[in-house]
Amino acid sequence: MGQMNTALKIEGVDGKQVLSGTIPVYGSKNAALIMLPACILFSDEVVLSNIPEIEDINRMIELLAGSGVSIKRKKRGTYSVSVKDKLNVNLDDKIVGRIRASVFLIAPTLARYGRVTLPYPGGDNIGTRPIDLFIEGLEKMGARCIKKNNRYEFSIDGKLHGTEFFLRIQSVGVTQSILLAGILAEGTTVIKNAAMEPEIVSLAKFLIECGANIKGAGTPEVTIVGGPLLKASKRTFVNIPDRLETGTFTILGALSGKKVKISNCNPAHIQSLLSVLEKSVSSEISVSKNSITIKNTKPLSVLPIDVRTHEYPGFATDLQPPLVVLLTQALGKSLIFETIYEERFNYIGNLIHMGAKIITYDPHRIRVHGKTSLSGATCTSPDIRAGLAYILAAIVAKGTSVIHNVYVIDRGYEKIEERLFHIGVNIKRK
Ligand code: EPU
């Protein structure tokens, strides 16, 4: 919060491939944002490690602590979480208004304590982001949801019960929430057309190790058989690496790297991006089990490519803004079809201001005409992923850029300027 008004100042490399060194990937924001509330389903202390120290996690910790959950930071990225027999089930208005992930408290709190109330959750301005499917799924499991004085109030008599729930939209958050609700429910819950993101697989692994009966996570049909509260029994769970950081750093390596190694990552989680890069960039990309190395031995050449964002394992919507920066350097026209959110092109205006040639067809489709050279500019980051796209554009550009509203970048990326500085980016927080 203290850093809300700070800005990042970047000197661009003017289209050259000069960065070199190793950049580490930290723990996954989105996996951590569901693991923390999942601890509500445990009867004993849970220890989580490789949790990124970012603003969204700080808000989640404040929200859980405000409900009465005890959270202790043992060392950097390692937290112990213990839940009491009673919690304050009325979630804090201010924090819920700031992070969308507040909705992840609904299912576990309701399943264990029978009641939870919250206002409409806030978050990035990337689309409408309704919560209708959370409500529908939980209602199918026997919950009541009423809206009173601008708060949603969920309640149940006794326990939730198992159900079969077909997701009209393959939502990550709803899949995770119904999975959590199923753990304490009476009987069997089947989620059909479930989302398949790695964050869901890692959540299920963690819960299964602690006694949950879950099958099929990572496939479109997930089955959960309800049972008692889970037990961590003194285990420590290691969070997975952030695949969106991995993808963003890989794009940066292709754009401006001489030789950049991305360490502590899981390349299998960004296969879709790697297949796009294989087709479009001249860089040499080599992949090991937990690292990616990108080399540009000659000036980068980029071929245009049409990309459609899709649920996992398709092309991640969160990697769409950095990919567009890369495609401003492609020789020719690329069509980008954003299928998940209707306001995720909110950052295009500033790229155009920096020199990009981009035509907007409708809220879901743009065409990028390359190759254009970019010039440094002053801009304000509208959301976390757009913020990273601006950082990439500023690095590629000629001249100085200043990016304001760094708070939204700090929401998702820990010590971003330190890590980028380490591979040769001329970046300062001011
Ligand atoms: N949707 C509904 N009704 C609902 C829930 C979702 O219509 O009740 C719609 C959404 O409006 C959207 C689509 O379903 O159009 C998919 O959204 P989803 O629920 O899958 O997204 P999410 O769970 O809210 C997570 C990530 C997002 C990421 C999306 C898509 C977390 C905390 N957030 O959001 O990450 O973009 O999945 O992959 O896991 C980010 O990290 O910057 C970010 C926004």
Q: CA–CA separation, 361 vs 367, rounded Å?
A: 8
State both tokens at 152.
């949603």
Q: CA-based Rg of the chain, rounded to a whole angstrom?
A: 22
The pLDDT value recorded for residue 5 is: 54
Pocket mutation for ligand 1, best pick of 135, 165, 172 (most atoms within 8 Å of C-beta): 172
| 430 residues of the chain, pLDDT tens digit each | 444 458 999 999 999 999 999 999 999 999 999 999 999 999 999 999 999 999 999 999 999 999 999 999 999 999 999 998 889 999 999 889 888 999 999 999 999 999 999 998 876 666 667 899 999 999 999 999 999 888 999 999 999 999 999 999 999 999 999 999 999 999 999 999 999 999 999 999 999 999 999 999 999 999 999 999 999 999 999 999 999 999 999 999 999 999 999 999 999 999 999 999 999 999 999 999 999 999 999 999 999 999 999 999 999 999 999 999 999 999 999 999 999 998 899 999 999 999 999 999 999 999 999 999 999 999 999 888 999 999 999 999 999 999 999 989 999 999 999 999 999 999 999 8
Specify the residue with its C-alpha closest to ligand 1, atom 22: 173
Distance 200 CA to ligand 1 centre (A): 13
Q: How many A from CA of 418 to the centre of ligand 1?
A: 29
| Cα–ligand 1 centroid distance for 104 (angstroms) | 12
Q: How far is the CA of 325 from the centre of ligand 1 (A)?
A: 23
Q: What is the pLDDT of residue 342?
A: 86
Residue owning the nearest CA to atom 19 of ligand 1: 171
Say if strands 144-148 and 151-155 run parallel, antiparallel, or are unpaired.
antiparallel
Q: Which pLDDT score, from 0 to 100, does residue 1 have? A: 44
Q: Read off the tokens for 91.
A: 């979630």
Confidence at residue 2, expressed as pLDDT on a 0 to 100 scale: 44
From the CA of 232, how far away is ligand 1's center (Å)?
Answer: 28
Residues having CB closer than 6 A to ligand 1 are 29-30, 33, 100-101, 124, 127-134, 169, 171-174, 195, 317-318, 340-341, 384-385
Give 128 Cα–ligand 1 centroid separation in angstroms. 10
Going from the Cα of 122 to the center of ligand 1, the distance in angstroms, rounded, reads 12
Mutate to test the pocket of ligand 1, among 56, 248, 340 (most ligand atoms within 8 A of CB): 340
Please state the three-class secondary structure of the chain as a single string. Answer: CCCCCCCEEEECCCCCCCEEEEEECCECHHHHHHHHHHHHHECCCEEEECCCCCHHHHHHHHHHHHCCCEEEEEECCEEEEECCCCCCCECCHHHHCCCHHHHHHHHHHHHHHCEEEEECCCCCCCCCCCCHHHHHHHHHCCCEEEEECCEEEEECCCCCECCEEECCCCCHHHHHHHHHHHHCCECEEEEECCCCCHHHHHHHHHHHHCCCEEECECECEEEEECCCCECCCCCEEECCECHHHHHHHHHHHHHHEEEEEEECCCHHHHHHHHHHHHHHECCEEEECCCCEEEECCCCCCECCCCEEECCCCCECHHHHHHHHHHHCCECEEEEEECCCCCCCCCCHHHHHHCCCEEEEEECCEEEEEECCCCECCEEECCCHHHHHHHHHHHHHCECEEEEECCHHHHCCCCCHHHHHHHCCCEEEEC
Residue pair 27/242 in contact (Cβ under 8 Å)? The answer is yes
Question: What pLDDT, on the 0 to 100 scale, is given for residue 129?
Answer: 78
Let me know: does 188 contact 224? Beta carbons within 8 Å: yes
Measured from the Cα of 30, ligand 1's closest atom is 39
